[in-house]
Amino acid sequence: DQQVKQNSPSLSVQEGRISILNCDYTNSMFDYFLWYKKYPAEGPTFLISISSIKDKNEDGRFTVFLNKSAKHLSLHIVPSQPGDSAVYFCAASAEKETSGSRLTFGEGTQLTVNP
Amino acid sequence: DTAVSQTPKYLVTQMGNDKSIKCEQNLGHDTMYWYKQDSKKFLKIMFSYNNKELIINETVPNRFSPKSPDKAHLNLHINSLELGDSAVYFCASSQWTRPYEQYFGPGTRLTVT
């Protein structure tokens, strides 16, 4: 029972264009959502997050959109750079459960940005 | 000055053996975690400790026993290793007040033969 799903295992974009990574969730108790980025042979690193009370959060080139009615979130990277090539994990948490420390991860999307 | 470190990075062992993976963080965090990334690449939480107290214990075989001697360390001991235990194990840490921003170690690739 995978509660967080990333249906695209891979995405390839051209440098300078927009990358859009998608994530769907099924648990309506989730109220906080995050994106992590992972390079090979390293652990995931926190990228950006959004609370369920918001529908958009922006940090530099990265923007996360949340559509609660569709139980869908997306990460936009504009402009994409070759250094953004990595696996991106979507994660979700229900704050009322263990104060939010239990993260449920999706299976990841491999982003490749071509020069 | 690695923030979250794990040892060893690679571990190859035979079925039935007992092994340990060590984790240390120098970020001053009070919460630490163990995750397992299986062959399908899902990252699943196994355990979480806050100030040396167990707060998350997912459905994990009791062959897995975490130990937190202090806030900066969370070790994972695995008894009677099985083939299905082969995976990458990640340690992570966070501040209790900011649980979502978890800092991960580089992972330990465990191979059971």
Profile chain A (115 residues) by mean pLDDT over runs of 10 residues.
91 98 95 94 94 95 97 98 97 74 91 97
The CA distance from B67 to B65, in Å, is 7
Q: For chain B, first and last CA: distance in Å?
A: 34
Query: CA of B100, closest CA in chain A: separation in Å?
Result: 6
pLDDT at B8 over 80: yes
Query: Is the Cβ of B42 closer than 8 Å to some Cβ of chain A?
Result: yes
Out of B41, B102, B106, the one facing A107 most closely (by C-beta) is B41
Average of per-residue pLDDT across B31-39: 92
Per-residue pLDDT of A7-21, as tens digits, reads 999 999 999 999 999
pLDDT at residue A98, rounded to an integer: 59
Q: Is the confidence at residue B83, as pLDDT, over 60?
A: yes
Q: Closest Cα of chain B to A28: distance in Å?
A: 18
B36 vs B53, higher pLDDT? B36
Distances, alpha carbon A4 to alpha carbons A77, A91, B42, in Å: 21, 7, 10
